[in-house]
Amino acid sequence: MTIRTRFAPSPTGMLHVGNIRTALHCWLWARKTGGAFWLRIDDTDAARSEERFVEGIRADLNWLGLVPDGEERQSARFALYEARFQQLRDAGRIYPAYETGQELDLKRKIAAGRGLPPIYDRAALALSDADRAALEADGVRPHWRFKLDHAAPIVWDDLIRGPQKLDPATMSDPVIRRADGSWLYMLPSAIDDMEMGITHVVRGEDHVSNTALQLQMFAAMGAAPPAFAHEALLVGTEGKLSKRLGSLGVAHFREIGIEPTAVRALLARIGTSLPVEPLAESAALIESFDFSVFGRAPARFDEAELAGLNAKIVHQLDFDTVVARLPGGMGAVEWDAVRPNLATVADAAEWWGVIEGPIAATRDSADSDFLAAAARAAATIPWDGDPWHALTAALKAETGRSGKTLFLPLRRALTGRDHGPDMKTLLPLIGQDRAISRLSS
């Protein structure tokens, strides 16, 4: 069996971190098994779907390195849905219902008042042909429901949650088509998964009941269902579902300098028994991906953890990978010198400014004589080897200073910073003339 996964966003907005996690896991599973990863644009909601979001979804996946092997759009598949709809209707598995939204709300309230679950009572099935004709003559257009089979429990072995069993009698017959003829999610998705040969569906645990309903749809269409993996939902650092998670997406990550490899490294592992590691290459993530290591507890997404992971990945990036994003004139030697002190690639510009100058140096008046001596020493030491150790050795011998009183005034005068890259590697890049000028200022 050739593995085929799909990521099926609705183009009613941009991808957020939860969507990205699902897409990543679909991609990882396809890559691990030598299968295919498909993008399906679920754009049946014409009123809310926008082409700019379709383009944004493609761009986001490309930035993340999750390039699909193919793409389908539900808006191009309406004829297929119509044909399956008619087959299921002819088989008695789809029926028209005429209640308005207000009438359905009232039924739910009455059921709740009686201590009963808010399940649709199937009143539409009791209507005669004459009843339906009279309603339609009055201008009432039906919505359409899929008729669940109550004969046996719905069971499947979930790849994450294990054996699942739901009683269809405790569920409402799902609405699959609105009165205006537009489609809801349930049936088109099942049809597409069947027709596209999808073997594995990865989704959030909030879709468990939807899966139960769709399993009956697959059976009604005579199709073997895909395997399902229902992931625990993401939560924020406050320990609950956060609206902020719905606003965090690729645009935000790019704005704050997060590498796509850091996003992948974090989202591939949180919620699993595997450690989150700064893996800049995807091969290790692909090799270790396994639904059996996913836990049932909510997966905690922490932006601070992502930022720390990002810094560790930046420290691994070679010059050729980042050269297009570095300031003009900055070379491999400069990159290697400052890289261990960066949180993002963009931070390299700050240290390039320190190397090239001018800088806003900070100095204590008590260090004036010491820095004057440093300027004189800088003019006489050899600069073709290790000028930093030559300079500090000369100053230690001349002034008797050591430790912090020796090194900190020099770092401040030369870089304007209290901390930063190793001065042994940074001072040669600053160069003799600039160093003497800064020490003399």
Q: Is residue 57 part of a domain?
A: no
Average pLDDT over residues 425-434: 97
Q: What is the pLDDT of residues 199-245, one digit of tens each?
A: 999 999 999 999 999 999 999 999 999 999 999 999 988 776 676 78
Q: Is residue 115 part of a domain?
A: yes
**Does residue 172 share a domain with residue 85?**
yes
Q: What are the residues whose beta carbons fall under 8 Å from the beta carbon of 13, sequence distance 6 or more?
A: 53
The tally of domains found in the chain comes to: 3
Q: Is residue 392 part of a domain?
A: yes
**Does residue 323 share a domain with residue 399?**
no
**Does residue 383 share a domain with residue 352?**
no
Q: What are the residues whose beta carbons fall under 8 Å from the beta carbon of 278, sequence distance 6 or more?
A: 262, 265, 309, 312, 313, 316
Instruction: Give the CATH number of the domain where residue 375 resides.
Output: 1.10.10.350
Q: Is residue 146 part of a domain?
A: yes
Structure tokens, 252:
């935000």
Instruction: Give the CATH number of the domain where residue 130 resides.
Output: 3.90.800.10
**Does residue 396 share a domain with residue 352?**
no
Q: Is 286 exposed, middle or buried (0-12, 13-18, 19+ CB in 10 A)?
A: middle
Is residue 362 predicted with pLDDT exceeding 80? no
- Give residue for tokens 């924020």: 236
pLDDT at 222: 97
**Does residue 92 share a domain with residue 169?**
yes
**Does residue 369 share a domain with residue 338?**
no
Paired strand residues for 94? 146
Average pLDDT over residues 345-374: 93
Q: What is the pLDDT of residues 33-43, one digit of tens each?
A: 999 999 999 99
Q: Of 356, 385, 416, which residue sits at a domain end?
A: 356
CB atoms within 10 A of CB 382: 9
Residue-range definition of the domain harbouring residue 390: 365-440
pLDDT band at 339 (very low <50, low <70, confident <90, very high): very high
Average pLDDT over residues 266-277: 97
**Does residue 329 share a domain with residue 386?**
no
Q: What is the pLDDT of residues 374-383, one digit of tens each?
A: 999 999 999 9
Say whether 424 counts as a known binding-site residue.
Answer: no
Nearest to 28 by CA among 286, 288, 290, 292: 286
Residue 304's alpha-carbon distances to 15, 155, 274, 382, in angstroms, are 20, 40, 19, 44
Residue 202 to residue 32: CA distance in whole angstroms: 15
**Does residue 414 share a domain with residue 337?**
no
Q: Of 143, 177, 211, which residue sits at a domain end?
A: 177
**Does residue 143 share a domain with residue 99?**
yes
**Does residue 376 share a domain with residue 346?**
no
